[in-house]
């Protein structure tokens, strides 16, 4: 009986991991294609797009919570100071990430944004060491060192750190870490985050409308529809990511993360014609080499990280 129980437990764990990987693949595919969405409304200022994302995301999550009455659990949780402060922090991190990313895409700096998400898997590993006491093997330290050298090269050759890349990498890395340890499930946690950012977002949109500078209702039906659907485009991959983060290791999240920046990089260079000179190529090659070292080590030593790829 004990052996049967262990087998059933292992099978259940495997199903959970596979579901987490599928959620992760879906999330990163959508994130990788989101630049196309933001490019379609790049005539709207980044701050206004950000506020629409916040406002419409709350409506999306509320619509999902209401049928089952799950909003009551969210309200009870939000009254606990520790939970409130935790989600206030995650909401701040994801808001920063959203704004910088929208600004980068609409300012034709998609390639630099993609570098941030290429670095992000290694940031997950780095944060895992200091906050989750995960142990790194020599190959993982080597990967982090190579990536750091690539960033240093870009900083030296460009006369400054690639701040867009670093802000995106660390803001989302910290967000993933905190969401992994959050006490609520994916949808409930996301609803608290969107509720916290909704008031300032709505206030800003109302101020724009009062000043006659808002895009919604004044820039055509296509823009209105895209702004309204920004909540779905925002919340759906975040929801899937949160599902994945709670089911698989941070190292597995790191492997899946390659999907989004690869799509973003290809869109930036091939579809939108952003510059990619020799200096950038050397920096990217260093980061890609670091990811190759890290991935090879992960596939060799942690079979669970390959779930969904066979």
Q: What is the pLDDT of residue 34?
A: 93
Side-chain half-sphere exposure of 177, counting CA atoms within 13 A: 23
What mean pLDDT do residues 110-136 have?
82
The chain-wide mean pLDDT, for the chain, equals 84
pLDDT confidence bin for 307, thresholds 50/70/90: very low
Q: What is the pLDDT of residue 304?
A: 43
Buried-exposed string 18-52: b where 16+ CB fall within 10 A, e elsewhere:
ebbbbbbbbbbbbbbebbebbeebeebebebbbbb
Q: What is the pLDDT of residue 295?
A: 78
Query: Is residue 4 packed enough to be buried (19+ CB in 10 Å), middle (13-18) or exposed (0-12)?
Result: exposed
How many residues comprise the chain? 310
**Percent residues over pLDDT 70 in the chain:** 90
Q: What is the pLDDT of residues 27-54, one digit of tens each?
A: 989 989 999 999 999 889 999 999 999 9
Least Cα distance to 67 among 187, 242, 186 occurs for: 187
Could you tell me the residue ranges of all domains in the chain?
Answer: 18-306
Q: Of the given ranges (269-273, 274-278, 291-295, 296-300), which has the lowest mean pLDDT?
A: 296-300
pLDDT confidence bin for 265, thresholds 50/70/90: very high
Q: What is the pLDDT of residues 144-162, one digit of tens each?
A: 889 889 888 888 887 788 8
Q: Of the given ranges (25-29, 82-86, 94-98, 244-248), which has the lowest mean pLDDT?
A: 244-248
């Amino acid at each position: 009986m004990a052996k049967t129980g262990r087998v059933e437990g292992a099978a259940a764990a495997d199903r959970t991991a596979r579901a987490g990987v599928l959620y992760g693949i879906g999330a990163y595919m959508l994130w990788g294609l989101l630049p196309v969405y933001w490019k379609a409304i790049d005539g709207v200022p980044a701050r206004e797009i950000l506020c629409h994302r916040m406002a419409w995301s709350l409506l999306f999550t509320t619509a999902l919570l209401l049928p089952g009455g799950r909003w009551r659990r969210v309200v009870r949780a939000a009254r606990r100071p520790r939970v409130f402060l935790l989600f206030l922090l995650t909401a701040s991190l994801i808001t920063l990430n959203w704004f910088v990313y929208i600004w980068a895409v609409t300012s034709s700096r998609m390639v630099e944004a993609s570098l941030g998400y290429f670095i992000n898997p290694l940031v997950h590993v780095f944060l895992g060491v200091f906050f989750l006491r995960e142990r790194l093997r020599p190959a993982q330290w080597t990967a982090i060192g190579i990536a750091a050298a690539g960033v240093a090269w870009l900083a030296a050759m460009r006369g400054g750190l690639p701040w867009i890349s670093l802000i995106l990498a660390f803001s989302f890395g910290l967000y993933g870490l905190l969401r992994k340890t959050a006490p609520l499930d994916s949808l409930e946690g996301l609803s608290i985050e969107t509720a916290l950012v909704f008031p300032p977002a709505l206030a800003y949109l109302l101020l724009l409308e009062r000043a006659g500078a808002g895009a919604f209702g004044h820039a055509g039906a296509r823009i209105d529809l895209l702004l309204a659907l920004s909540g779905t485009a925002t919340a759906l991959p975040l929801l899937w990511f949160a599902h994945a983060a709670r089911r698989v290791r941070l190292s597995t999240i790191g492997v899946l993360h390659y999907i989004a920046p690869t799509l973003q990089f290809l869109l930036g260079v091939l579809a939108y014609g952003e510059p990619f000179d020799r200096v950038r190529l050397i920096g990217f090659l260093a980061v890609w080499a670091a990811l190759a070292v890290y991935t090879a080590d992960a596939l060799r030593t942690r079979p669970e990280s390959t779930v969904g790829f066979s």
